[in-house]
Amino acid sequence: MFRLFQMLFLALALPQVVSAAIEVPVVYLKQDVPRPPVLSNLDPIPDDLGSAGADLGLADNMTTGKFLGHTYTLETIVVPEGGDWIASAKQALALSPYVILDAPSDLLLGVADLPEAKDALLFNATSPDVALRNESCRANLLHTLPSNRMRTDALVQFFVKRRWTTLALISGAHPQDQAFAESLKQSVTKFGLELKAEKEWVFNADMRRNAAQEVPLFTQDLGEYDALLLADELDDFGRYIAYNTWIARPVAGSDGLRPVAWSDVVEQWGAVQMQNRFHELTGRDMRSEDYAAWAAFRSLGEAVTRTQSDDPATLRDYILSDAFELAGFKGRPMNYRGWNGQLRQPIPLVTGRAVVATAPLEGFLHQVSELDTLGIDQPESKCTAFDED
């Protein structure tokens, strides 16, 4: 039957189309969030962080879709500070069951729990919150950004490999810093290393000199350690720590050696091609949130291509199945954890100039997938929303 169709089309000299026309609308829904002031304005956050990745996902899917008669559209809705998030979410869901979300975790859950979202397929592209993948997981919410735990496990694997067994930690006071610090501690425990000292970065008006001058003294009482961890997820003080520590040690975490979903220094496994495409589209480098939004849109595209369907339940089943695989330019096929909706993925450990290593590191084995050595694993997971699948 299929072949007959194809030959018929050939005869009609209409080569490309071998399947019914499918149109897949996707919405990128973003909540603008105020950012606290930071010490340096050297690296502004791009306005289109995240959404630009969806733009590239759209372009990639359209190119593939044109050979199959599949089209995709992307609507980007940005809710200003103080705007009505839930009303905008309802508006988005009226446009499409496929929504890529860019918002803090409580707002994500607000959307996932809407009656309108019951049969929708939502993607979290920007929140690293571990709870969203654990006790607060929702069956209609998938995650393409790695969780904090995936990132910190990746980093600590590297320390194990290097035998940097004792660590110290400086964390900022923001909730994001605290969440990342907590995750770092859990990873240190998971892999059997030792956190020997810990301090909070609480400089205020009492600080008489600039940050860089304070750091040697500030780190003097951390004692002996192999590497210094930084939990500074808002990019406030972390950049002033390296080379200023009391004892000569590498720094890692939010600055120094960073575990990321993506970075402009990733170049292996065909990554250069994607970096080039992104750069051409946006004029800037691709970041983790861009990558996660791209991966969400591409996951949908891959599912549509393989199933020839635009039905949310069909696509969700396929995305969560063993048959699904996404080529994400990180050297391994990527798929989703069927028990909590998290995209499995390698985590590059990067400096500003190079990829130092990519986790999972060699030697960290797992009975299902080596990628599951990163993040909360199924046996310890408190996520039950996916159980009926």
* Nearest distance, CB of residue 120 and another protein, angstroms: 26
Instruction: Give me the DSSP letters along 278-337.
Output: HHHHHSS---HHHHHHHHHHHHHHHHHHHH----HHHHHHHHTSTT--EE-SSSSEE-B-
* Nearest distance, CB of residue 309 and another protein, angstroms: 14
266 close to 67: Cβ distance less than 8 angstroms: no
What are the C-alpha distances in Å from 304 to residues 57, 84, 320? 13, 32, 13
34 close to 308: Cβ distance less than 8 angstroms: no
Nearest residue (CB) to another protein, 186 versus 305: 305
Nearest residue (CB) to another protein, 163 versus 353: 353
* Nearest distance, CB of residue 270 and another protein, angstroms: 6
Nearest residue (CB) to another protein, 290 versus 370: 370
Instruction: Give me the DSSP letters along 96-123.
Output: -SEEEEES-HHHHHHHHTSGGGTT-EEE
Calpha distance 151→161 (Å, rounded)? 16
The amino acid present at 94, given as its one-letter code, is: A
Residue whose C-alpha is closest to residue 48's, from 211, 278, 326, 244: 278
* Nearest distance, CB of residue 382 and another protein, angstroms: 27
Coil/strand/helix, residue 258: strand
Strands in 347-350's sheet, in edge-to-edge order, are 258-259, 347-350, 355-359
Calpha distance 109→104 (Å, rounded)? 9
Nearest residue (CB) to another protein, 57 versus 238: 57
Nearest residue (CB) to another protein, 26 versus 117: 26
160 close to 191: Cβ distance less than 8 angstroms: yes
Contacts with another protein by CB under 8 A lie at: 3, 6, 10, 15-16, 18, 60, 63-64, 67-68, 270, 273, 276-277, 305-306, 325-327, 331-333, 369-371
Instruction: Label residue 358 left, alpha or beta by phi (over 0 means left) and psi (-120 to 50 means alpha).
Output: beta
* Nearest distance, CB of residue 331 and another protein, angstroms: 7
* Nearest distance, CB of residue 54 and another protein, angstroms: 16
Nearest residue (CB) to another protein, 183 versus 307: 307
* Nearest distance, CB of residue 343 and another protein, angstroms: 14
The amino acid present at 130, given as its one-letter code, is: V
Nearest residue (CB) to another protein, 171 versus 307: 307
* Nearest distance, CB of residue 370 and another protein, angstroms: 6
Calpha distance 126→163 (Å, rounded)? 32
Nearest residue (CB) to another protein, 111 versus 271: 271
HSE-CB at 112 with a 13 A cutoff on CA atoms is 24
The amino acid present at 219, given as its one-letter code, is: T
* Nearest distance, CB of residue 64 and another protein, angstroms: 4
Nearest residue (CB) to another protein, 178 versus 369: 369
